[in-house]
């Protein structure tokens, strides 16, 4: 509960693989479909937030809404900025939201050293691999970018592993490698990276079920062969 607001956190599990998939944005569903297909054939665990509000999670108190981006809740700095984007911040909201972030982290259980795969979808041209190039919006977050002219720029990977970056670039996927010291946005990637864990974003355009399924398959076999 975030005050009066109920958030469901669904956990799907199937034996066969220890990979953990995380879907933080409730309005991004192609990635969930693709992850379910992956689980059906290889196993793994999928953690999915559900609340019906769209991208942002909402704290609801006395009929008022205090939204924040669940992919900014993994540090106080990110959370403050995200809450302040919509409303004035109160200590109660910060406590509630960071408590919620801890519960999600407990479900992910990243200390086990298992790769954490964040799955996302985007709208055409809104967020692309090109945004990780130097001078662009997420330029400071990346130290290397491989663009694949034969693929849709909306379909890309982002990882903190040099080995995975090179392997995915070798398969000619769009992929960016996280900076050595990326800015603290309070993302799940920041959090896992600070723990020293392996982190991968698999992002595809809404409706790109075939593309995203293939991306997960390629990633899965790279991790298996490793």
Contact residues for Zn ion, defined by CB under 5 A: 25, 28, 120
Location of structure tokens 């662009």: 136
Helices 91-108 and 76-86 pack at an angle, to 10 degrees, of 130
**How far apart, in whole angstroms, are the C-alpha atoms of residue 119 and residue 8?**
18
Which CB atom, from 124 or from 196, has the smaller least distance to Zn ion? 124
Q: Tell me the sheet residues that pair with 178.
A: 142
Instruction: Report, in Å, the least distance between residue 31 CB and Zn ion.
Output: 8
In the complex, what is the shortest distance from the CB of residue 33 to Zn ion, in angstroms, rounded to a whole number?
14
What's the closest the beta carbon of residue 32 comes to Zn ion, in angstroms?
A: 11
For Zn ion, which is the closer residue by CB, 93 or 205?
A: 205
In terms of CB distance, is 28 or 155 closer to Zn ion?
28
Give the nearest distance from C-beta 21 to Zn ion in angstroms: 13
Q: Which residue number has the CB closest to Zn ion?
A: 120
> For residue 225, what are its two tokens?
């062969």
To Zn ion, the closest distance from the beta carbon of 126 in angstroms equals 11
Within 8 A by CB and 6+ apart from 156, the residues are: 128, 129, 173, 174, 175, 176, 203
Q: CA 147, 26, 128 angle in degrees (round to 5)?
A: 15
In this complex, which beta carbon is closest to Zn ion, that of residue 25 or of residue 208?
A: 25
Q: Which is nearer to Zn ion, 120 or 185 (CB)?
A: 120
**Cβ(45)–Cβ(20) below 8 Å:** yes
Residues 116, 159 contacting (CB under 8 angstroms): no
């Amino acid at each position: 509960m975030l005050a009066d607001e109920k958030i469901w956190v669904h956990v799907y599990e199937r034996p066969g693989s220890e990979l953990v998939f995380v879907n933080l944005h409730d309005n991004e569903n192609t990635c969930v479909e693709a992850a379910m297909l992956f689980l059906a054939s290889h196993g793994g665990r999928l953690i999915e937030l559900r609340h019906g509000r769209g991208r942002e999670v909402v704290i609801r108190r006395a009929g008022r809404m205090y939204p924040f981006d669940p992919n900014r809740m993994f540090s106080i700095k990110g959370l403050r900025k995200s809450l302040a984007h919509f409303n004035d911040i109160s200590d109660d909201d910060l406590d509630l939201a960071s408590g919620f972030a801890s519960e999600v982290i407990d479900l992910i259980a990243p200390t086990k050293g298992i790769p954490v795969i964040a799955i996302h979808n985007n709208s055409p041209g809104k967020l692309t691999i090109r945004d990780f190039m130097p001078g662009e919006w997420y330029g400071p977050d990346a130290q290397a970018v491989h663009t694949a002219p034969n693929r849709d720029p909306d379909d890309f990977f982002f990882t903190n592993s040099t080995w995975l970056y090179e392997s995915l670039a070798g398969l000619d996927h769009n992929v960016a490698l996280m900076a050595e010291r990326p800015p603290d946005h309070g993302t799940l990637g920041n959090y896992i990276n600070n723990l020293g864990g392996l982190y991968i974003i698999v992002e595809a355009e809404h409706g790109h079920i075939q593309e995203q399924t293939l991306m997960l398959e390629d990633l899965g076999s790279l991790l298996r062969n490793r």
